[in-house]
Chains A and B, each alone.
Chain A
């Protein structure tokens, strides 16, 4: 198929950016969206124009490195990562607008690349269980009911891609945060730090410039790992509980 791409080009955080139009031809529907951009970049290189910078690594939907707002939607029209979006989701002749994640907590680096290190800082604030290496007790000493284990697992599958933030009109990171709080809070090992974890992670979240949640639900709708919206209720419940205990 033949497509018209409108891509956000910006050399760096301090320079002005603009949408630039590029036609691409002979795109196969078996290509992933990123492979389509590879094709464009090969053409640009041949013409002596600098290729478009975009992030990706695993290209199998698990590392969370790829991003892109495609026609205004985080990761594009399907509920998946951009690397797993295939061109069969588009029509011949379509115009596709491609922009970077937009959120003040995710500053722009170049073209379509943004800085998501705020997520790491939220984890540093308490997104872990404090256990040193070498002294862990026998694993099967502790039973975890299957329901809890399953819910812990489901919420642990967050890939830290940031689509939830990009999709949210408030640029809130609460789905990401809620997923981690729920994962660790479901497990017996996670109880000791449950209160301090949620308070400290939320503080960091606010400090890094993410917005608050007003229950719009765009985050869960855009999440490629289908993290459910109720992790945010869990987050709020844990937060209230922590305040009560404090």
Chain B
């Protein structure tokens, strides 16, 4: 694919390939008219032909379910896959806080341009301007669509939709359904999709896991999936494949992601030629319930909407850290975010809030139980809010979150301040896509958290739901026509060599996993990988740490294939086998994340390189050197292990927005 041989290894780790660029956004059109122009210029597929075209969608979260419903309605044959027992359980269901839209219902100065501006700025100028503008533009349609479906958003007494403001912005543009916005949006998309299942346009395959991508003559033509109940390896061919398989935060083992979230679908596609963009951009969420011990299987997020009314503080003095917080008088509390960032206070962007919490704990001013030799927690205090608006009003707004907190910790947050600590939450990296959301493999599209384009180095709150639904309902169904209009496509049969090869590689891999029969459980490898990633590729990264991590991951991966123990058979429901396949892919992705983090010698958004900071410890970007998307091409070794990957840069071009260093002070 690239002329890489002329370039030597850089830092012993990667090679440099040719630059790439998005060529799909209409050229020389003002940003306000881009999407309208693109929609007009996109090819059409007439309804009779749509019946002859087939689409595979992997994932039925917000992005996938919305796309399946819309493509089904349009008349295409859709096959939709998910690993859960029902599409309604996708990880999107857990989103709490809300979804943004530039409706300006409050007349507080909001507009499409402002949402666009906030999103690009919030992402530290590492997202693609054209895509983000389109996102802001479709945001208003999303709300209309969801309301029409019966999504019960919060309403005021006049019966109109209610809004709140969310981390990092100064307007109230976030629509919400109590603390369960993701659930309600997903149920809406799921119901729309089930309607198409009943209509016969969508076939759903639950408890099915995509394990390989089929590429025929350079084009994506299907997937190999495992029926997780019978163990059968199935071949599904189609004219086009869409990955809506979510993010890869579980590479850290502990995260706010659902247990089954994985990178397999996108990683398998990456190995087949799809570039992986900005893998090192991980969002760490500031408001999670702190870890309580070694047994922990996942972390729970407390919606960051809590930062609207809760005040964050730690004791001024270390000696006070084990006191009952209610006994610490006002003058001995350090409301550090309000102190350092008076303009934004507790609503600073997530990366800043997270890092500051870590610093407070590193300084020894953390609160809560000792985990290891550290207290990892800061207070999120509602006592002011309770006295200002009353416990009932607080309950109406945040009741379910308070209940959840009480259930998990055994403490009553109406009485005692909550404790919070940052946790891995979201991954801004993903498959590289162009304006049409097409990857570098023709006929392979990526939507939702699985792609990289809209959030840059940091995602603002309430903007992922917007992107997932925007991609699924409005963007993909319009852009994919450009490709489908080239159909009808040549039939691919199951005995095509590329199909047979894909199938055999899946079978071989499963057999290999089951035959190692070593000493260590899959989880033990996953936990160890997670420790390495959190320690060296987490909130703060250094050259030395990252190099160390790469070495450790390589030897862990080597041990995995020699010493993992996966019991049972391939022919039944086998949860260790499922996990083993996912962890094997995480072990490869982890290395790429570290290489990406290492090569980017700047700090931006969720990527904080200790070597690149201002005198007062703020993240320091280097736009002169790093104003690009890092799109990595897989270059495996003959042994099958990932070899030195090839870096392709996509220069980021800002025409509608002026580049600024970020300052929230």
Interface residues, chain A, with chain B CB atoms under 8 Å away: 11-12, 28, 30-32, 34-35, 38-39, 42, 45-46, 48-51, 53, 55-65, 80, 84, 86, 88, 109-110, 113, 115-117, 119-120, 123-125, 127-134, 136-140, 142-146, 149, 152-153, 156-157, 159-160, 183-184, 187, 189-190
Q: Does B69 contact A (CB under 8 A)?
A: yes
Cβ contacts A to B, 7 pairs, < 8 Å:
A59-B258, A60-B404, A130-B195, A133-B70, A149-B152, A187-B150, A189-B148
Residue of A nearest to B260 (CB): A57
How many angstroms between the C-alpha atoms of A227 and B407 in the bound complex? 19
- Asked whether, in the complex, the Cβ of A39 is within 8 Å of the Cβ of B295, the reply is yes
- Asked whether, in the complex, the Cβ of B152 is within 8 Å of the Cβ of A49, the reply is no
Q: Does B178 contact A (CB under 8 A)?
A: yes
Q: Does B568 contact A (CB under 8 A)?
A: yes
- Asked whether, in the complex, the Cβ of A31 is within 8 Å of the Cβ of B84, the reply is no
- For B84, list chain A residues within 8 Å (CB): 57, 63, 65
- Asked whether, in the complex, the Cβ of B575 is within 8 Å of the Cβ of A51, the reply is yes
- For A65, list chain B residues within 8 Å (CB): 84-85, 89
Contact pick for A143, options B148, B160, B204, B573, CB 8 Å: B160
- Asked whether, in the complex, the Cβ of B152 is within 8 Å of the Cβ of A183, the reply is yes
> If the complex has contacts A60-B94, A113-B573, A128-B195, are A133 and B145 also in contact, measured as CB distance less than 8 A?
yes
How many angstroms between the C-alpha atoms of A113 and B84 in the bound complex? 12
> If the complex has contacts A11-B572, A12-B572, are A131 and B149 also in contact, measured as CB distance less than 8 A?
yes
Q: Does B87 contact A (CB under 8 A)?
A: yes
Binds A, one of B184-192, B352-360, B585-593, B625-633: B184-192
Binds A, one of B296-304, B327-335, B549-557, B639-647: B296-304
- For B144, list chain A residues within 8 Å (CB): 136-139
Chain B residues numbered 466-502 whose CB sits less than 8 Å from any CB in chain A = 473-474, 477
- For A129, list chain B residues within 8 Å (CB): 148-150, 191
- Asked whether, in the complex, the Cβ of A63 is within 8 Å of the Cβ of B89, the reply is yes
Chain B residues numbered 141-177 whose CB sits less than 8 Å from any CB in chain A = 141, 143-150, 152-161, 177
Q: Would you give the shortest CB distance from A200 to chain B, in whole angstroms?
A: 9
Interface residues, chain B, with chain A CB atoms under 8 Å away: 66, 69-70, 73, 84-91, 93-94, 103, 105, 141, 143-150, 152-161, 177-178, 180, 183-184, 187, 190-192, 194-195, 197-198, 204, 206, 229, 258-260, 292-293, 295-298, 300-301, 404, 407-408, 410, 473-474, 477, 521, 523-524, 565, 567-568, 572-576
How many angstroms between the C-alpha atoms of A62 and B187 in the bound complex? 12
How many angstroms between the C-alpha atoms of A64 and B575 in the bound complex? 18
- Asked whether, in the complex, the Cβ of B473 is within 8 Å of the Cβ of A133, the reply is yes
Contact pick for A124, options B152, B153, B194, B574, CB 8 Å: B194
| Number of A-B pairs, beta carbon distance below 8 Å | 212
- Asked whether, in the complex, the Cβ of B147 is within 8 Å of the Cβ of A136, the reply is yes
The secondary-structure label for the interface of chain A is loop
Q: Would you give the shortest CB distance from B490 to chain A, in whole angstroms?
A: 30
* 8 nearest A-B pairs in the assembled complex, by CB-CB distance: A143-B159, A128-B191, A136-B148, A136-B144, A139-B147, A153-B152, A124-B198, A63-B89
> If the complex has contacts A65-B84, A109-B573, A143-B160, are A59 and B298 also in contact, measured as CB distance less than 8 A?
yes
Residue of A nearest to B180 (CB): A157
- For A138, list chain B residues within 8 Å (CB): 144
Q: Would you give the shortest CB distance from A85 to chain B, in whole angstroms?
A: 9
- Asked whether, in the complex, the Cβ of B567 is within 8 Å of the Cβ of A146, the reply is no
- For A130, list chain B residues within 8 Å (CB): 195
- Asked whether, in the complex, the Cβ of A57 is within 8 Å of the Cβ of B150, the reply is no
- Asked whether, in the complex, the Cβ of B156 is within 8 Å of the Cβ of A146, the reply is yes
- For A139, list chain B residues within 8 Å (CB): 103, 143-144, 146-148, 161
How many angstroms between the C-alpha atoms of A139 and B407 in the bound complex? 36
- For A46, list chain B residues within 8 Å (CB): 521
- For A45, list chain B residues within 8 Å (CB): 521, 565, 567, 576
- For B70, list chain A residues within 8 Å (CB): 133-134
Contact pick for A117, options B85, B105, B296, B523, CB 8 Å: B85
- Asked whether, in the complex, the Cβ of B184 is within 8 Å of the Cβ of A57, the reply is no
Q: Would you give the shortest CB distance from A109 to chain B, in whole angstroms?
A: 6
- Asked whether, in the complex, the Cβ of A62 is within 8 Å of the Cβ of B94, the reply is yes
- Asked whether, in the complex, the Cβ of B159 is within 8 Å of the Cβ of A152, the reply is no
A49, A55, A63, A125: residue with the most chain B Cβ atoms closer than 10 Å = A63
- For A59, list chain B residues within 8 Å (CB): 258-259, 297-298, 300
How many angstroms between the C-alpha atoms of A133 and B68 in the bound complex? 11
Contact pick for B195, options A60, A124, A157, A183, CB 8 Å: A124
How many angstroms between the C-alpha atoms of A42 and B84 in the bound complex? 22
